[in-house]
Structure 1
Amino acid sequence: MLSSEPIIHIDPELCTGCRRCAAVCPVDAITGEPGQPQEVDAHRCVICGQCVQICTAYAPDHLESADSLKAKRLQRGQLPSVREPLFAAYSTGQALGVKRALANPALYKVVQCAPAIRVSLAEEFGLPLGTLTPGKMAAALRRLKFDRIYDTNFGADVTIMEEGTELIGRVMSGERLPMFTSCCPAWVKHAETAAPELLDHLSSCKSPMQMVGALVKTYGAKQDGVDPAKIYSVAVMPCTCKEFECSREEMEVDGLREVDVVITTRELAHLIKDAGIDFVNLPDEPFDSPLGLYSGAGSIFGVTGGVMEAAIRTGYELVTHETIPNLQLDFVRGEEGLRTATVQLGELELKVAVVAGLKHVSEILNQVKAGHCPYHFIEVMGCPEGCVSGGGQPKLLLETLRKTAYQARKSSVYRHDSHQQVRKSHENPAIIKLYKDFLGEPLGHVPHHLLHTKYQSREKEVSPISAGREGGKL
């Protein structure tokens, strides 16, 4: 069953009614009169967390009692040691439960980290915007007593193997085109709510996070000789909607949740500070094998256009059987909005589109509904510039810093990609071994069981009042 508990909240005691949150909400899920506390329509909300990022109304410590602040932190799932302000808009946290689990010796604690975490986490410790710290991040997670430090980037490489093969099959058959990416849970939830008749156009691939979760409790458990039922699987994400995604009924493998809990970038920083770990002076340490090894293509999933670029790097070579002449595909890189291009894969002319920011997807959805969408493959990311701008990332209080931070994080992601020895998903030796020893062929029986999913219409869950508002239907 999909989680029935709301994740995004606005505290009516703290909200000033400035409506900045309503201005950035891509699906008109926030309502209220100016100057009055705002409310979130949980059915319409896609849990992207942009309202959390933009909110500047907070509880001043000198006006709130210690007991009141403590109660609010507990209600929000925050650690008692957190000292950041309590803002009106917030997402329910899971750090308290993770801290308890890390102290439980009966559990085998496994963690994975999304591509965007390593270019933003350091900001919480006073380092410059966009500082790249994969090694320090892995070291910190080890000191938090995780038994295995894996990487969502590995899942991104698996996604390209499955999604690229799926795309080629659809293009060759001409069926269910265009194909949309399915990595972003905010986009998937929006499609289920606003365009359920188009769900067959989404890739059947689970997100990289869920793919790693499924592999952790099957392939990884076998590699480590661990009972899957004893594995506590944690994902560190820049995205507030990932907690919703991991709770979906279909996200399980052999009766076990693929990912047990999700925490955000900010929550990982809280856990590191709570444990007294000196993050800035940590040595660089590696991720664990085999689910911690990734290509440059896997690392660029954290930026808008990254999934598209990674898919083209592999798709070009799968179709042409030739080496792609240029790995830096500037034509899919960019900022918020809609970008389109035509890619020549040998004799195949592939028309692609990249949507950054959910408010920009309406035009394409209308084209698909009308039957005259010109594209074969469309990447959609709910947040303005992809995962680097996710709702769970370090909070940027000054609007002037926002674009600077996003650009610094994106530059860091691309630099990380350029420094990788392997930059194509299909050339990652750990991926080659995974398919040889465990998965078999992409889209085969085992991948279908573990790595693919179905979607469901959520249209009926939209209240009559919500459905009648402008923007409720696309």
Structure 2
Amino acid sequence: MSEKFSPTLRIGDLSDFIAPSQACVVSLKGLKATPKKPEPQVFKKLTTFLKSLGVKAVLDTCCIRDLTLIETCHEFIARYKQGQATDDEKSKSSLPMLSSSCPGWICYAEKQLGSYILPYISSVKSPQQSMGAAIKHHICQTMGFRPEEIYHVTVMPCYDKKLEAAREDFVFQAESNDESHADQGVCIPEVDSVLTSGEVLDLIQLKEVDFDALEESPIDRMLANLDEQGHLYGVSGGSGGYAETVFRYAAKVLFGREIDSPLDFRIIRNSDFRELSLEVEGKTVLKFALCYGFQNLQNIVRKVKTRKCDYQFVEVMACPSGCLNGGGQIKPKPGQSPKELIKSLEAIYMENVLEADPFKNPLVKRLYDEWLGHPGSEKAKRHMHTGYHPVVKSVTAQLHNW
């Protein structure tokens, strides 16, 4: 067995959970070549394959993504009201609120931008880490397991998700069963290992599995966004739908405007920089943006630094075209351009997922009722939110760069 996959496959004695991002699970053909038409049974075949390796449960992140969207909506409303209530400079600096789910963006902000940009970043964890918190702090207890008995693997479109999972912020200590060593709890990561979708393809090929011939296993419904017909549902957008969800919620809560129609994003520089606005009585009251790719990202950062950014919320992704173009995704086949692949993935992604309001998700409601209490509660802040830390370079590193 290749050592490349050993961290994931040496887990037969644990209760194993795999939580794939839907950005990775888009079509039956997606794990062999570029998909040409939607094949929604890929999740069921992936479940069959992964369980053949000893995995006990294969979960979809969409339910937890809905929860992170709700937390993000409530955080935005709190920041907006704080900025409106006082002229204090510290309060005013709470906007624009910058999304926090992209680890490449977070790493760049901490290492290169420092303390002046970090207060603007949403404190809500990414869906990957929120899923880890839910599994290790709640789900395992309901199933009669201790957190250290669960090995949680995620499948993500991005290599930086591996770095995110290794952050010290996402490690906690379990209580020791040995009373004489009560203060020496075991350090437990919320996410134990991360595989990219490309690595899952490598694993399938390494095991010489005919993916088309695999039987379809029932989807584990523990945290699955499945309707009565077995269809997956969630928000639109291949990068989490943050701007759209927060915009609709803010329009409703702050200005009493229910927006049921598709949102009209206006292209500013290119398709990776789009904006969205709400007008009330001829006045622009909300202005949001989608900002993908480092070139566009740096433009936003400059505006924030000079206090010339007129957006209240920005959905930030380091990769051009967002998560579907993540560095860990399966590469285009010979003769196919990256743009053609992205266009195909976007079409398939949207065809295979029914759009649904996160606030009406019964699974999310149950998680709040049984575990977190309500959005923005102290327990939610403890498990669903995090902090950021500017990386101080050593003198040696500064001299080396100079």
TM-score normalized with structure 1 length: 0.71
1:257 and 2:189 equivalent?
A: yes
SS at match of 1:460: coil
SS at match of 2:311: coil
Residues 350-379 of structure 1: per-residue CA shift (max 9 Å, x gap): 211111112211121111111121010001
CA distance in 2, matches of 1:410, 1:246: 26
Count of residues in correspondence between the two structures? 370
Aligned to 2:161: 242
CA distance in 2, matches of 1:124, 1:465: 45
Q: Which amino acid counterpart does residue 464 of structure 1 have in structure 2?
A: Q
Q: Which amino acid counterpart does residue 30 of structure 2 have in structure 1?
A: E
* Contact 1:121–1:394 (Cα < 8 Å) also in 2: no
* Contact 1:152–1:209 (Cα < 8 Å) also in 2: yes
CA distance in 2, matches of 1:220, 1:248: 22
Q: Give the superposition deviation at 1:173.
A: 1.2
* Contact 2:34–2:333 (Cα < 8 Å) also in 1: no
CA distance in 2, matches of 1:228, 1:256: 7
Aligned to 2:125: 206
Q: Which amino acid counterpart does residue 325 of structure 2 have in structure 1?
A: S
RMSD between superposed Cα atoms in Å: 2.8
Query: In structure 2, which of residues 57, 60, 63 is the aligned counterpart of residue 154 of structure 1?
Result: 63
* Contact 1:115–1:299 (Cα < 8 Å) also in 2: no
CA distance in 2, matches of 1:313, 1:437: 27
Aligned to 2:265: 331
* Contact 2:70–2:359 (Cα < 8 Å) also in 1: yes
* Contact 2:96–2:312 (Cα < 8 Å) also in 1: yes
Segment drifting more, 388-397 vs 139-148? 139-148
CA distance in 2, matches of 1:213, 1:281: 32
SS at match of 1:414: helix
Change (3 A) 1:345 1:293: farther
CA distance in 1, matches of 2:160, 2:271: 19
CA distance in 1, matches of 2:253, 2:215: 39
Aligned pairs for 1:197-346 within 5 A? 197-254=116-173, 255-293=187-225, 298=234, 300=236, 302-303=238-239, 306-319=241-254, 323-326=258-261, 328-331=262-265, 336-343=271-278
Change (3 A) 1:432 1:206: same
Q: Which amino acid counterpart does residue 427 of structure 1 have in structure 2?
A: K
Aligned to 2:22: 115
SS at match of 2:124: coil
CA distance in 1, matches of 2:382, 2:119: 18
1:97 and 2:19 equivalent?
A: no
Q: Give the superposition deviation at 1:314.
A: 4.1
Segment drifting more, 252-261 vs 429-438? 252-261
* Contact 2:251–2:278 (Cα < 8 Å) also in 1: no
CA distance in 2, matches of 1:466, 1:332: 43
Query: In structure 1, which of residues 425, 440, 452 is the aligned counterpart of residue 385 of structure 2?
Result: 452
% identical aligned pairs: 30
SS at match of 1:339: strand
Segment drifting more, 342-351 vs 213-222? 342-351
CA distance in 2, matches of 1:272, 1:260: 21
1:185 and 2:103 equivalent?
A: yes
Aligned to 1:439: 372
* Contact 1:130–1:411 (Cα < 8 Å) also in 2: no
CA distance in 1, matches of 2:316, 2:346: 17
SS at match of 1:128: coil
Query: In structure 2, which of residues 298, 301, 306 is the aligned counterpart of residue 370 of structure 1?
Result: 306
Segment drifting more, 438-447 vs 456-465? 456-465
Change (3 A) 1:297 1:365: farther
SS at match of 2:194: strand
* Contact 1:306–1:333 (Cα < 8 Å) also in 2: no
CA distance in 1, matches of 2:293, 2:191: 26
CA distance in 2, matches of 1:117, 1:344: 36
Q: Which amino acid counterpart does residue 319 of structure 2 have in structure 1?
A: C
Segment drifting more, 311-320 vs 254-263? 311-320
Q: Give the superposition deviation at 1:385.
A: 0.7
Higher relative contact order (CA 8 A, sep 6+): 2
Change (3 A) 1:333 1:369: closer
SS at match of 1:269: helix
CA distance in 1, matches of 2:213, 2:339: 28
TM-score normalized with structure 2 length: 0.83
Q: Give the superposition deviation at 1:276.
A: 4.1
CA distance in 2, matches of 1:253, 1:192: 22
CA distance in 2, matches of 1:365, 1:410: 27
Aligned to 1:21: none
Q: Give the superposition deviation at 1:297.
A: 7.4
Change (3 A) 1:232 1:165: same
Aligned to 2:78: 169
Residues 154-187 of structure 1: per-residue CA shift (max 9 Å, x gap): 2211111111100011111113110000000000
CA distance in 2, matches of 1:290, 1:318: 31
SS at match of 1:438: helix
CA distance in 2, matches of 1:99, 1:193: 33
Residues 181-221 of structure 1: per-residue CA shift (max 9 Å, x gap): 00000000111122112101000011100000010012210
Mark the runs of 5 or more structure 1 residues left unpaired by the alignment: 1-78, 81-92, 469-474
Q: Which amino acid counterpart does residue 151 of structure 1 have in structure 2?
A: D
Query: In structure 2, which of residues 288, 297, 301 is the aligned counterpart of residue 361 of structure 1?
Result: 297
SS at match of 2:332: coil
CA distance in 2, matches of 1:156, 1:389: 19
CA distance in 1, matches of 2:295, 2:214: 40
Q: Which amino acid counterpart does residue 329 of structure 1 have in structure 2?
A: L
